[in-house]
Amino acid sequence: MSIKKVRSHISPNEALLFERSSPGKKAYQLPELDVPAVDAETALGAGNVRAEIAGFPEVSEVEAIRHFTRLSTWNYAIDHGMYPLGSCTMKYNPRVNELVARTEGLAWAHPYQPESLSQGVMQVMAHLESALLEITGMDAVTLQPAAGAQGELTGILLIRALLEQQGNPRKKILIPDSAHGTNPATAAIAGYVVENIRSDEHGLLDLGALEKSVTEEVAGLMVTNPNTLGVFESRIMEAAEVLHRKGALLYMDGANMNALVGIARPGDFGVDVMHLNLHKTFSTPHGGGGPGGGPVAVKKHLEPFLPVPRLKRAGDHLSFDYDRPLSIGKVKAFYGNFGVLVRALAYILAHGGNGLRAATMDAVLNANYIRKKLEPFFDLPYALPNMHEVVFSDERQARLGVRTGDIAKRLIDYGFHPYTVSFPLIVHGAMMIEPTETEGKLELDLFIDAMISIAKEIETEPETVKSAPHLTRTSRVDEVKAARKPVLKWTPGSR
Amino acid sequence: MRYLPKSDSERREMLKACGVESPEELFAHLPEAVRLKQPLELPPGISEYEIVDYFRRRGDENANGYASFLGAGVYAHYRPVLVDTVVSRGEFLTSYTPYQAEISQGTLTTIFEFQTMICQLTGMDLANASMYDGSTAVAEAALMAARLTSKGGLLVARTVHPEYQEVLHTYAKNQGMPITEFDYDAETGAADLDDMERKLNDLTAAVIVQSPNFFGVVEDVKRAAEIAHKRGALLVMGFSEAVSLGILEPPPADIVAGELQSFAISPSYGGPFAGIIATREKFARQMPGRLVGETTDTHGHRAFCLTLATREQHIRREKATSNICTNQALIALMATVYMSVYGKEGLRELAEHNLAKAHYLAGKLKARFSGPFFNEFVVSTGERSPDEINKALLDKKIIGGLPLGRFYPELADAMLLCATEMSRRAEMDRLAEAWNVH
Amino acid sequence: MYPEDYRYTKEHEWVHVEGDTGTIGITDHAQHELGDIVYVDFKYGRETLKPGQRVDQGKTIGSVESVKAVSDIYSPISGDIVDLNHTLADAPEKLNEDPHGDAWLVKIRLSNPGELSNLLSAAEYQTYIGAEK
């Protein structure tokens, strides 16, 4: 018996839209035209009108909904269970945020509608700005950058603008070897040369190396705090002083803010400019890879250079100020990912000051609980206290021929998304785990049990782990083939 | 706090397992000097009802109940119900970037379909899984052209969306890439290709045009490409009104970079949107952003995965093609569902409706430029200023067009109006009446 | 495993000299560390590498990519490019299969044979990679 009908979740014979398409099938109906039709060739010019959209699918509404619904069941998601991905902060995406983002007056607001008819949307932005300033301890914030990487670029461009105004933009940006890949990529796009700073034997910023490296050619240091090992940079204030003495600035990558909200503020420990990831700390949904939001908060001396326009208030009335001669310009059209800003504000309103602090406490408790329980089974490369995430190394398991990537794939069979594999680069065979505060004890215990079980499997039946996953819809996917002979779109006759 | 799924007794158990008495002890290692000594000055958390009410009130303080004729890069198109039905599924909404292919085939498959449909619409060989928006897509396309040609000059039409130009400037400035503008024809409203030819030189990496342009006029991209290629420059074509792709012949560009907001993405005061970059096969390795490719699993079944990742920041670091990490996956999914709902015939019919509506309105008001236009056009305001006319329209609960003086000083007596399939004849008649009454 | 008559670099390239021409490739150790190789790129600065191009010892002449990593290739010697192995474009897997033979990368006419003396012998290279572990 060969089963031809597709079933949800397991079946491998799901056809793509183009493969279930057939001429004349429709999922739409437009209203009757209430104005005269216009001949396209006459209006647009004969050479400008296309004959057809070749290959474009034609499916019915029922087929469309079934297709996308079945596809959705092949995804893992936070709604299913924990994502222990380090530095991603995969916390619960509150559903009320989805509802409020669709409020008609907010969802249909046009960025060029008159300011007198935009007080509601502007008020949302102003409210979020002031909350973020309180959380970060900084003096001014822009909500324009579309995501973390864009926030980083904005931050570095702000540094460049300030130094240029002082007469010399300088040439180098210092970046720790434990940094996320967006950091050096960003510095390069901003026109700086990247110089790596090694971490010390504890995985922290090496102050000695920093002092030697900070010359008058250095524009700034990009630091993540807590760092990508989940450890707080205890000498961050000294590092800030070293930089400031030489006229350089301190940029903080805010990816790990989930460890600090309500506990410590970057503005209080010497940071000049930082970005936040709304899709991490502030719960906006990842949606399979975006959208995000990357607000940038600065100290007073960088405020004049912020992207244009800036929100300004006169009594009850809000407006946009375009008269900003020192601004670096725009990093994105319009004002920012407003829909994402709404969700972040809803998150902040739901928690309030007390709730935000409680969330941070739980995030750090969860990570420490995991560390304590897994310590007997996996190597800890650094002995310092960790905050909201913990990094293990696969050293012990590697001696038996099993690597972090294999363990991650086997974790999938236990019903979890893998942790962050092989990052940070300073740890050999890294396993970076961040549970976030929205995981309960039950889920954490299930995760811990799974990891311990895998550690035991590695000793008794390593092949099972090395060839995982076994219980997913697709088995291990051939990434080599995909890279050697890239097929990046469907073509007729390709099945 | 209702999003924290632990009971106090569970917390106590976990603290005990960690060997501490209180959660504060877990922070004891932080230097005294950095620790906050008082709570954040934010009001306490509020209930779900109060959150909904807060945003409902903010929503009411905007343009509810007004008919709008604004376009200028953000368009009012009907959003089919199926779009939110699909993207609201937790499996799409709350999933992560599909780095683990085995448990992300849903996202990967939809992106593959998205890439395919963008190629079909733009006539290009490959497309990426989306950029932040149209403005950054155009900027990244320019940087891509510079890498491909090893040249640095950019030649940009004044008729490209002014905010896209501003963003391009921010990106190009720090790469040492000089930008030269070329003008438009005051009669047709189209880019002046003679001016372009004069300003083109052997150092030009790319010529950037937009079609339909900011004034709504369809450009002669074919001729622009011919001229550009003669001097070894690439042709980057931008667009901000994706519905136009349903009816306009895809021109022979080298890179297409544009905005998909028209495809079921709420205007949402300017974002989040989704941009795309599509290009020719030979330029694939210089394309920024994520790419999904087809492959097989160990049983030989078709599967999809992220590929050519070695272009990206997490591997190349400072030598990456871009620093971009995010794609706009959920937004791109909205566009994918939209494209499936309308399909081959629907997108065409939709475009024809837009064409008819805008031409009806233009007929009543008289377009300023003679060039062919899609669903936007420029109108002179004569003796009155655009602001005066718009004020009169507001009294009738109509939001008029965009006064162009802020971007084009020579057009201070003109505004840009847009009509889509959602513009009703009665509303257009009211606008024309209010306009022509003076 | 490592031919005696080749010379090696600490960046895991090899060079095999015959007459005044040196053939260059990456070592078996390098291909093993990279994993399945998917792409080879020949570049000098921003330009595509071409016959006639003068390259200097230690400068990057391109890169080798696997799915998860990229490695720069540094020229072990100075000279003029004579030939490039274009068969690798369609079959990058040859670098995994036969890194010391069939999957050579470029041929260079040496401008300074004296440079060979500061490269490693097969024995020295094997000691070096043994120590690296």
Among B314, B337, B360, the domain boundary falls at B337
What is the spatial distance between Cα A336 and Cα A129, in angstroms, rounded to a whole number?
12
pLDDT number for residue C5 = 92
Region B259-265 average pLDDT: 98
Decide if C60 touches B, using CB distance below 8 A.
no
Core vs surface per residue B375-401: b (16+ CB within 10 A) or e: bbbbbebeeeebeebbebbbeeebbbb
Task: For residue A257, report the phi and psi dihedrals to the nearest 5 degrees.
Answer: -60, -20
Decide if A435 touches B, using CB distance below 8 A.
no
The CATH number covering residue B86 comes to: 3.40.640.10
The amino acid that residue A233 corresponds to is E
Tell if the CB–CB gap between C69 and B309 is shorter than 8 Å. no
Tell if the CB–CB gap between C70 and B309 is shorter than 8 Å. no
Q: For B306-319, what is each residue's pLDDT tens digit?
A: 998 767 655 566 56
Q: For B197-232, what is each residue's pLDDT tens digit?
A: 999 999 999 999 999 999 999 999 999 999 999 999
B320 pLDDT higher than 70: no
Q: For A93-141, what is each residue's pLDDT tens digit?
A: 999 999 999 999 999 999 999 999 999 999 999 999 999 999 999 999 9
pLDDT number for residue B322 = 65
Decide if A229 touches B, using CB distance below 8 A.
no
Shared-domain flag, residues B238 and B96: yes
A12 pLDDT higher than 80: no
C68, C93, C132, best to mutate vs chain A, most A CBs in 10 Å: C68
Sign of CA dihedral C47, C51, C56, C60: positive
What is the spatial distance between Cα B91 and Cα A76, in angstroms, rounded to a whole number?
6
pLDDT number for residue A464 = 95
C133 pLDDT higher than 80: no
Considering only CB atoms, B272 lies closest to which of A21, A339, A350, namely A339
Shared-domain flag, residues B383 and B365: yes
What is the spatial distance between Cα B156 and Cα B208, in angstroms, rounded to a whole number?
5
Residues A404 and A420: beta-carbon distance below 8 Å: no
The amino acid that residue A273 corresponds to is V
Segment among B229-238, B374-383, C35-44 with least mean pLDDT:
C35-44
pLDDT number for residue A10 = 58
pLDDT number for residue B319 = 62
B26 lies in some domain = no
B141 lies in some domain = yes
Q: For C114-127, what is each residue's pLDDT tens digit?
A: 999 989 999 999 99
Phi-psi region of B369 (alpha: psi -120 to 50; beta: other; left: phi over 0): beta
Give the closest residue to C122 by CA, choosing from C59, C29, C51: C29
Shared-domain flag, residues B136 and B210: yes
Residue with the two structure tokens 């809803």: A346
Helix segments in B19-133, DSSP class H: 48-60, 81-87, 90-93, 105-122
pLDDT number for residue A7 = 55
Decide if C67 touches A, using CB distance below 8 A.
yes
Å from C126 to nearest chain A CA? 21
Q: Using a CB-CB distance cutoff of 8 angstroms, which residues of chain B are in contact with residue C47?
A: 150
The amino acid that residue A174 corresponds to is L
Q: What fold, for A358-480?
A: Aspartate Aminotransferase, domain 1 (3.90.1150)
Provide the residue ranges of all domains of chain A, joining segments of one domain with +: 17-72, 96-350, 358-480
Residues A157 and A190: beta-carbon distance below 8 Å: yes
Tell if the CB–CB gap between A480 and C39 is shorter than 8 Å. no
Q: Using a CB-CB distance cutoff of 8 angstroms, which residues of chain B are in contact with residue A72?
A: 86, 89, 91-92, 106
Tell if the CB–CB gap between C67 and B316 is shorter than 8 Å. no
Residue B438 in 3-state DSSP?
Answer: coil
CA distances from A358 to A70, A268, B5, B46 (A): 38, 20, 12, 15
Task: For residue B78, report the phi and psi dihedrals to the nearest 5 degrees.
Answer: -65, 135
| Six token digits for residue C49 | 């590498």
What is the spatial distance between Cα B391 and Cα B438, in angstroms, rounded to a whole number?
13
Decide if C70 touches B, using CB distance below 8 A.
yes
Shared-domain flag, residues B297 and B372: no
A41 pLDDT higher than 60: yes
Tell if the CB–CB gap between B61 and A123 is shorter than 8 Å. yes
Residue of B nearest to C41 (CA): B285
B10 lies in some domain = no
Mean pLDDT for all residues in chain C: 91
Task: For residue A231, report the phi and psi dihedrals to the nearest 5 degrees.
Answer: -105, 135
Q: Using a CB-CB distance cutoff of 8 angstroms, which residues of chain B are in contact with residue A49?
A: 247-249
| Six token digits for residue A89 | 């902060």
User: Do you know the residue count of chain A?
Assistant: 495
CA distances from B345 to A216, A481, B228, B351 (A): 62, 36, 34, 10
What residues of chain A, 466 to 495, have a C-beta less than 8 Å from chain C? 479-480, 483-484
User: What is the maximum alpha-carbon separation in chain A?
Assistant: 78
Q: Using a CB-CB distance cutoff of 8 angstroms, which residues of chain A are in contact with residue C92?
A: 484
Residue of C nearest to B308 (CA): C67
Among B5-9, C35-39, C64-68, top mean pLDDT goes to: B5-9
Tell if the CB–CB gap between A28 and B298 is shorter than 8 Å. no
Å from C89 to nearest chain A CA? 9
Region B300-329 average pLDDT: 74
CA distances from B160 to A244, A305, B184 (A): 42, 25, 10
pLDDT band at A84 (very low <50, low <70, confident <90, very high): very high
| Six token digits for residue B166 | 């501003």
Q: For C25-54, what is each residue's pLDDT tens digit?
A: 999 999 988 889 999 989 887 778 999 999
What is the spatial distance between Cα A130 and Cα A407, in angstroms, rounded to a whole number?
43
Q: For B119-132, what is each residue's pLDDT tens digit?
A: 999 999 999 988 99
Per DSSP bridges, beta strands B402-403 and A310-314 are: unpaired
pLDDT number for residue C71 = 87
pLDDT band at B103 (very low <50, low <70, confident <90, very high): very high
What is the spatial distance between Cα C66 and Cα C39, in angstroms, rounded to a whole number?
7
Assessment of whether the complete model's pTM goes beyond 0.80: yes
Domain A96-350: CATH class, spelled out: alpha beta
Q: Residue B154's beta-bridge partner residues?
A: B179, B206
Q: Which residues of B touch C (CB under 8 A)?
A: 150, 285, 309-310, 315-316, 319
pLDDT band at A493 (very low <50, low <70, confident <90, very high): confident
B9 lies in some domain = no
Å from C47 to nearest chain B CA? 8
Residue of B nearest to C65 (CA): B310
Q: Using a CB-CB distance cutoff of 8 angstroms, which residues of chain C are in contact with residue A479?
A: 67
A476 pLDDT higher than 70: yes
Shared-domain flag, residues B95 and B107: yes
Considering only CB atoms, B63 lies closest to which of A33, A57, A113, namely A113
Residues A120 and B290: beta-carbon distance below 8 Å: no
B226 lies in some domain = yes
B411 lies in some domain = yes
What is the spatial distance between Cα B335 and Cα B114, in angstroms, rounded to a whole number?
8
pLDDT band at A177 (very low <50, low <70, confident <90, very high): confident
Number of structural domains chain B divides into? 2
pLDDT number for residue A166 = 96
Shared-domain flag, residues B283 and B262: yes
The CATH number covering residue B408 comes to: 3.90.1150.10
Shared-domain flag, residues B313 and B351: no
Interacting residues of A72 by C-beta distance below 8 A, sequence separation 6+ = B86, B89, B91, B92, B106
Tell if the CB–CB gap between C65 and B316 is shorter than 8 Å. no
Tell if the CB–CB gap between B293 and A152 is shorter than 8 Å. no
pLDDT number for residue A197 = 93
What residues of chain A, 321 to 360, have a C-beta less than 8 Å from chain B? 328-340, 342, 346, 348-359
pLDDT number for residue A383 = 87
What is the spatial distance between Cα A487 and Cα B292, in angstroms, rounded to a whole number?
8
B55 lies in some domain = no
What is the spatial distance between Cα B368 and Cα B381, in angstroms, rounded to a whole number?
10
Q: For B64-84, what is each residue's pLDDT tens digit?
A: 999 999 999 999 999 999 999
Core vs surface per residue A452-471: b (16+ CB within 10 A) or e: eebbebbeeeeebbbebbee
pLDDT band at B326 (very low <50, low <70, confident <90, very high): low
Among B289, B315, B337, the domain boundary falls at B337
DSSP string of B8-44, one letter each residue: HHHHHHHHHHTT-SSGGGGGTTS-GGGB-SS--S-PB
Decide if C89 touches B, using CB distance below 8 A.
no
pLDDT number for residue B324 = 61
Considering only CB atoms, B316 lies closest to which of C38, C39, C70, namely C70
Task: For residue B380, report the phi and psi dihedrals to the nearest 5 degrees.
Answer: -75, 145
pLDDT above 90 as % of chain A: 87
B21 lies in some domain = no
Residue of C nearest to A483 (CA): C38
Q: Using a CB-CB distance cutoff of 8 angstroms, which residues of chain C are in contact with residue B285?
A: 39, 41
Decide if A105 touches B, using CB distance below 8 A.
yes
Å from B222 to nearest chain C CA? 29
ipTM: 0.96
Q: Using a CB-CB distance cutoff of 8 angstroms, which residues of chain B are in contact with residue A484?
A: none
Decide if A372 touches B, using CB distance below 8 A.
yes
Shared-domain flag, residues B291 and B221: yes
Mean pLDDT for all residues in chain B: 94
B281, B310, B319, best to mutate vs chain C, most C CBs in 10 Å: B310
B437 pLDDT higher than 70: yes
Q: Using a CB-CB distance cutoff of 8 angstroms, which residues of chain C are in contact with residue B310?
A: 38-39, 65-70
What is the spatial distance between Cα C80 and Cα B126, in angstroms, rounded to a whole number?
36
Chain C neighbors (3+ CB pairs < 8 Å): A, B
Please, what are the domains in chain C? 7-132 (2.40.50.100)
Decide if A55 touches B, using CB distance below 8 A.
yes
pLDDT number for residue B313 = 56
Give the closest residue to C37 by CA, choosing from C13, C16, C66, C80: C66
Q: For B399-433, what is each residue's pLDDT tens digit?
A: 999 999 999 999 999 999 999 999 999 999 999 99
Among B337, B356, B390, the domain boundary falls at B337
Phi-psi region of B38 (alpha: psi -120 to 50; beta: other; left: phi over 0): beta
A48 pLDDT higher than 70: yes
C67, C68, C73, best to mutate vs chain B, most B CBs in 10 Å: C67
HEC string for B312-356? CHHHHHHHCCCCCCCCCHHHHHHHHHHHHHHHHHHHHHHHHHHHH
The amino acid that residue B269 corresponds to is Y
Å from A450 to nearest chain B CA? 17
Q: Residue A420's beta-bridge partner residues?
A: A432
Q: Using a CB-CB distance cutoff of 8 angstroms, which residues of chain A are in contact with residue C64?
A: none
pLDDT number for residue A475 = 86
What is the spatial distance between Cα B246 and Cα C114, in angstroms, rounded to a whole number?
66
Tell if the CB–CB gap between A483 and C93 is shorter than 8 Å. no
Q: Using a CB-CB distance cutoff of 8 angstroms, which residues of chain A are in contact with residue B294?
A: 482, 487-488, 490
pLDDT number for residue B54 = 98
Å from B9 to nearest chain A CA? 10
What is the spatial distance between Cα A307 and Cα A326, in angstroms, rounded to a whole number?
9
pLDDT above 70 as % of chain A: 97
Residue B360 is part of which domain span?
67-79+345-436
